[in-house]
Amino acid sequence: KSGAYAQTGIIRDVMQTHMMQVLSLVAMEPPVTVSGPRAAENIRDAKLLALQSVAPIDPSEVVLGQYTGTPNLPGGTEPTPGFMDDPTVD
């Protein structure tokens, strides 16, 4: 399953696109109108203004990480494999 996500680029492409759509919808001001012949353009314009107001990312404030799974823990908890532990991931 993980390999399919990695090969298709779903995390880098599809998830990013969906998250940007959600961000713009949640952050936008109400559009001029949501019905009529210009509704789509008005919604697009409101979403664009919301996205343009987001400050650029400062690379010095970013932390990158990779899920590595959990080891054997006391109390009989089963270990959980990480994303890169999946044999279908390159």
Verify whether residue 61 is a known catalytic residue: no
Cα(46)–Cα(24) distance, rounded to whole angstroms?
8
CA distances from 2 to 7, 67, 71, 79, 85 (A): 9, 12, 19, 17, 9
CA distances from 52 to 13, 31, 61, 86 (A): 20, 15, 20, 38
Q: Which of 10, 14, 18, 69 is catalytic?
A: 18
Active site positions, annotated: 18
